[in-house]
């Protein structure tokens, strides 16, 4: 039967229709931006009310951020535009890393890299450079080792680093690399056909195997032994909790939450207060809706914590959207134009009783509205390929599960799987202009639904023909491919 097989057998998905959830009820604010929902009141000291923006230095074009275990430092992935005569645009977007001390405001550049992760005690920082299998491990800014990881997703537990090299499961600890287990040859993960994520405590791992016909298989493995068992069900999205090894499975109609004890809880999506999910710092699951992220930080949304009466009040930032480990901060990105962004850090549990829009929101909104184009970058991420040659869209790289947003106002006119492109969501805008987001893992909207520019429509995935988590952003004018960057 395998690990937890009897418990997993009870996991069934409720087949119900997806219905739009109502927006949270809020009260008036003295000076909201035009067309924005009013600002909510919160209880002083509410630990889940993150309503005051912290006065941190501006980090432009940020799209990902990871907290240090002491909640004092962020390692931020940001975009730097560099000339490249080989691209149709004459430039490309390079990825660089910086650290931000949120207590002192000190920013330090680390150089090129992405997918940075802190060790559990903050001793080490690991990140990727372009070279295959080159996961650099640094201490105090100096490289001390590298790990030959064949999967881009690794996990620190304390100062021990868990990673895969082909069929081998390794632990790197204080300079010593040890093989602790093997998978069976037929289940040896090969990226990107197979995508592996360790649970937060690294006792489990989840492997997703993608097929070009749209089917996928999921296996839960025991890290200490490498033994893997297939996970039943047809969920298109899966994610570990930020603590322990609770596993979230989502389809468009239902969610299943498998706790650390192996017990499964099934809930119809139509019974939840929204389609966007998130996690509290202590690993509780919450659901709600995100107001259109134009420009972001101009509205606050309420998320209901599953199984409790707790409500989180969060800014409509996009991108990473995560609490610090101690729960005192919430981080994301806001828009400074149609495509550029900046890092935004909010304090949680303050004495403020009324949320207020970010003081820079009006200026950012004005820059967005003054641009003659209408499309906004659909995800907080870096462009890795332009519309060039036989490539029919713009590839934007972002972490798996990141929210994808509508390029402009319109009506959802298609949603489902197509060959090569994988799962997609398409929106028809005015004057015969259509935008489509491909390689998604889960749609957050339904065909016929009206959406606003910057509204969540899907989650980043790896369906179809892909070499990593990203969205293929495509536009058509009266059926003919056009450049979304020019619309």
CATH number, domain of 112, equals 2.130.10.10
Same-domain status, 13 and 64: yes
Range of the domain at 413: 382-486
What is the pLDDT, as a whole number, of residue 131? 60
- Same domain? For 390 and 306 the reply is no
pLDDT at 193: 95
CB 319 within 8 A of CB 362: no
The last residue of one of the domains, among 370, 402, 431, is 370
The verdict on residue 212 lying in a domain is yes
Chain center to CA of 338: 19
123 & 162 share domain = yes
> What's the rounded Cα separation, in Å, for the pair 78 and 330?
18
Total domain count for the chain? 2
- Residue 168 belongs to some domain of the structure: yes
Q: Are residue 175 and residue 304 in the same domain, yes or no? A: yes
Residue 350 placed within a domain: yes
Helices (H), 399-485: none
Specify the CATH number for the domain of residue 388: 2.70.70.10
DSSP code at position 23 = P
Indicate if 114 and 195 belong to the same structural domain. yes
Are 139 and 54 part of one and the same domain? Answer: yes
Residue finishing a domain among 370, 401, 435: 370
Output the DSSP codes for 63-117.
EEEEE-TTSSEEEEEEEEEEE-TTSTTSEEEEEEEEEEETTT--EEEEEE-EEEE
The reported pLDDT for the residue numbered 28 is 32
How many of the other CB atoms lie within 10 Å of CB of 232?
Answer: 14
Same domain, 23 and 168: yes
Q: Tell me if 128 is assigned to some domain.
A: yes
Last residue of a domain, one of 341, 370, 399: 370
User: Is residue 255 included in any domain, yes or no?
Assistant: yes
Residue 11: the pLDDT is 33
Q: For residue 375, is it within any domain?
A: no
Give the pLDDT of the chain (487 residues) as one tens digit per residue: 333 333 333 333 222 233 233 323 232 333 445 555 667 778 888 999 999 999 999 999 999 999 999 999 999 999 999 999 989 999 999 999 999 999 999 999 999 999 999 999 999 999 998 766 689 999 998 999 999 999 999 999 999 999 999 999 999 999 999 999 999 999 999 999 999 999 999 999 999 999 999 999 999 999 999 999 999 988 999 999 999 999 999 999 999 999 999 999 999 999 999 999 999 999 999 999 999 999 999 999 999 999 999 999 999 999 999 999 999 999 999 999 999 999 999 999 988 777 777 888 999 999 999 999 999 999 999 999 999 989 999 999 999 999 999 999 999 999 999 999 999 999 999 999 999 999 999 999 999 999 999 999 999 999 999 999 999 999 999 999 999 999 9
Q: Are residues 130 and 224 in the same domain?
A: yes
**Does the residue 377 lie in any domain?**
no
**Are the CB atoms for 69 and 122 separated by under 8 Å?**
yes
Residue that has been written with the tokens 């620190």 in this structure: 156
- Under 8 Å between Cβ of 182 and 166: no
Do 392 and 354 belong to one domain? no
What is residue 21's predicted lDDT score, i.e. its pLDDT? Answer: 31
- CA atoms of 270 and 14, how far apart (whole Å): 10
Can you read off the two tokens belonging to residue 461? Answer: 């995935």
**Looking at the structure, do residues 170 and 283 belong to the same domain, yes or no?**
yes
- 127 assigned to some structural domain: yes
One domain for residues 220 and 96 = yes
Within this chain, do residues 203 and 337 fall inside the same structural domain, yes or no? yes
pTM for the model stands at: 0.91
Return the pLDDT at 132: 61
């Amino acid at each position: 039967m395998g690990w937890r097989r009897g418990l997993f057998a009870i996991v069934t998905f409720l087949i119900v229709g997806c219905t739009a959830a109502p927006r949270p009820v809020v009260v008036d604010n003295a000076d909201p931006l035009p067309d924005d929902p009013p600002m909510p009141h919160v209880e002083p000291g509410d630990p889940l009310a993150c309503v005051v923006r912290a006065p941190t230095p501006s980090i432009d074009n940020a799209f990902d951020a990871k907290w240090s275990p002491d909640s004092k430092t962020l390692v931020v992935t940001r975009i730097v535009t560099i000339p490249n005569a080989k691209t149709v645009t004459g430039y490309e977007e390079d990825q660089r890393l910086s650290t931000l001390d949120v207590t002192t405001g000190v920013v330090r550049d680390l150089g090129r890299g992405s997918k940075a992760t802190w060790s559990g005690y903050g001793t080490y920082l690991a990140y990727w450079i372009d070279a295959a299998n080159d996961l650099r491990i640094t201490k105090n800014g100096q490289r001390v080792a590298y790990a030959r990881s064949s999967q881009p997703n690794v996990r620190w537990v304390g100062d021990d680093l868990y990673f895969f090299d082909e069929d081998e499961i390794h632990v790197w600890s204080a300079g010593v690399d040890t093989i602790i287990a093997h998978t069976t040859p037929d289940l040896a993960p090969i990226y990107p056909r197979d995508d592996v994520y360790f649970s937060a405590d690294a006792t489990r791992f989840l492997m997703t195997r993608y097929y070009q016909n749209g089917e996928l298989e999921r296996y839960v493995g025991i890290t200490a032994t490498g033994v893997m068992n297939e996970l039943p069900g047809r969920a298109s999205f899966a994610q570990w909790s930020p603590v322990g090894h609770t596993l979230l499975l989502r389809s468009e109609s239902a969610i299943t939450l498998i706790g650390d004890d192996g017990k499964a809880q099934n809930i119809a999506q139509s019974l939840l207060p929204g389609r966007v999910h998130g996690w509290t710092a202590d690993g509780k699951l919450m659901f709600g809706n995100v107001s259109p992220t134009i420009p972001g930080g101009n509205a606050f949304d309420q998320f209901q914590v599953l199984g409790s009466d707790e409500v989180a009040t969060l800014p409509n930032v996009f991108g990473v959207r995560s609490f610090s480990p101690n729960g005192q901060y919430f981080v994301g990105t806001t828009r400074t134009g149609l495509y550029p962004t900046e890092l935004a850090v909010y304090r949680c549990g303050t004495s403020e009783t009324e949320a207020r829009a970010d003081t820079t929101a009006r200026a950012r909104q004005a820059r967005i509205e003054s641009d003659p184009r209408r499309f906004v970058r659909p995800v907080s991420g870096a462009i890795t390929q332009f519309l060039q040659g036989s490539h029919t869209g713009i590839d934007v790289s972002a972490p798996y599960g990141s929210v994808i947003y509508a390029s402009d106002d319109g009506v959802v006119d298609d949603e489902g799987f197509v060959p090569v492109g994988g799962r997609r969501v398409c929106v028809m805008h005015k004057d015969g202009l259509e935008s489509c987001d491909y390689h998604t893992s889960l749609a957050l909207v339904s065909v016929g639904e009206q959406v606003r520019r910057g509204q969540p429509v899907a989650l980043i995935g790896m369906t179809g023909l892909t070499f990593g988590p990203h969205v293929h952003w495509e536009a058509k004018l009266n059926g003919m491919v056009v450049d979304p960057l020019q619309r």
